[in-house]
Chains A and B, each alone.
Chain A
Amino acid sequence: MNKVTFICSILLAGILTNNMVLSKFLGICPFLGVSKKLNTAFSMSVAVTLVMVAASAVTYPIYHYLLYPDYTYLETVVFILVIAALVQLIEMVLKKYIKPIYNALGIYLPLITTNCAVLGVTMLNIQNELDFVASLFNALAAGLGFMLAMVLFAGVRQKLDEADVPEFLKGLPITLIEAALVSLSFLGFAGIGG
């Protein structure tokens, strides 16, 4: 398989077949927390995508030149450290230059640190033995997949705001049912692009 088709299949897999949120069930917290409005959902996904790509770029050399082969068990600790620092950096940048987004994301911005989708991407890069460029594309694909899920779900939730929901399902229960249905629809992509 040549390089271009490989990258394409990574992108396709990351966005559709192996979608972080809807197929791997990582990063559910922001998925449920910030998906009430379309624009905050979108800016949250942009922030997560940025952190994912940056984290992959930083963790790849750290793993292959520092930790491999003797200290691979430090993977989780070191990766979390890197992600935490990157999130702080992104928070600073947003606070300085794009204040409205900083305000809209609120508590969910520092919580990207504990978004397991970010750690998941960096660890899957290592697990699947991807090279540096492929890692970056994998992170980008995961971020775009996260964005797709968030935007779709925000759309669904905005529709549902106007629906007549039974009293006992109002709030989180109906949101979880919606999430399950959206996730189910993504099962349809299984098998495409290997």
Chain B
Amino acid sequence: MEILIPVLVVLAIGVILGLGLTFADKFMSVPVDEKQTKIRECLPGANCGACGYSGCDGYAAALAAGEAEPDKCAPGGEATAKALGEVLGVKVEAQKNVAFIACGGKPGTVKEIFEYTGFKTCSAATLAGGGPIACEFGCLGFGDCMRACEFGAITMENGRPHICEDLCVACGKCVKTCPKSIISLIPKNSKPRVNCSNRKKGPAVLKSCETSCIACGMCERACESGAIKVIDNLAVIDYTLCTGCGKCKEVCPRKVIVD
């Protein structure tokens, strides 16, 4: 019986405070935007922060205020974007982003400059003089990105990572992991793509890798819409101008531009 009184004391205080708060809520409750509640229901509630807001609630508030785009939710993907579009009354073009590794080098096509015997990770190999390959912008192929991917979208094929675009949710983990910073998130429908990251001048690149951009400018001259430009010794495609005709792909002497 001794325990009863303290329990009652705490219970009484709790009830009084609870009633007080309920009472205060009557006077001071702020009506939450009905739209915001609906939007919040569409979101997966993972609070991952991939959208750039503090959580699903923050994103919902920004959406309701019209400050955010409805396609930012990475875990929800297309389905969430569509549901959000219905609530907001906007037609959402389901634009899916995927990770893309801008390097076409393979064992054999890229020159090896020494034999690396250390830990078999890209981050460790990068510390050893930038890694065993002649191209300092190239994929080392130890698979740090594969291990970072939680969705099994990256597999190793012939000693280089391959991204399965259907499995990729564009979480960006591999982008952060890659010590060479050659992985980026791009719209899935952006084609063709420049499959090289080397920003060194042509002659040097020519010797280090068979499938590298040597900044010859053939693509730039072949492009009719002015979408492809050689910037810092590397071809860059502006997808707002690109028509996807594929002329650049045909003229590229190094077969760097791929679909």
Do A and B make up one complex?
Answer: yes
| A interface residue numbers (CB < 8 A to B) | 62, 66-67, 70-71, 74, 77-78, 81-82, 85, 88-89, 92-93, 95-96, 106-107
List 15 other contacts, CB 8 Å, given A67-B9, A71-B6, A81-B10.
A62-B13, A71-B9, A74-B9, A77-B10, A78-B9, A78-B13, A81-B17, A82-B17, A89-B21, A92-B24, A92-B29, A93-B28, A96-B28, A96-B29, A107-B54
Q: Is B30 located at the chain interface by the 8 A CB criterion? A: yes
Query: Would A92 and B25 count as touching, CB distance under 8 A?
Result: yes
Contact mask for chain B residues 200-236; partner A; CB cutoff 8 A; 1 contact, 0 none? 0000000000000000000000000000000000000
> Chain B interface residue count: which class?
10 to 19
Closest to B55 in A: A107
Asked if A88 meets B21 with Cβ closer than 8 Å, knowing A93-B28, A96-B28, A107-B54, the reply is: yes
Tell me if A's interface is mostly helix, strand, loop or mixed: helix
Query: Would B20 and A85 count as touching, CB distance under 8 A?
Result: yes
B13: which of A81, A95, A96 is its contact (CB, 8 Å)?
A: A81
A residues less than 8 Å from B1 (CB atoms): none
Query: Would A95 and B24 count as touching, CB distance under 8 A?
Result: no
Asked if A106 meets B17 with Cβ closer than 8 Å, knowing A71-B5, A74-B9, the reply is: no
A residues less than 8 Å from B52 (CB atoms): none
Query: Would A82 and B13 count as touching, CB distance under 8 A?
Result: yes
A residues less than 8 Å from B24 (CB atoms): 89, 92
Top 7 A-B pairs ranked by shortest CB distance?
Answer: A85-B17, A96-B28, A92-B28, A71-B6, A95-B30, A96-B30, A88-B21
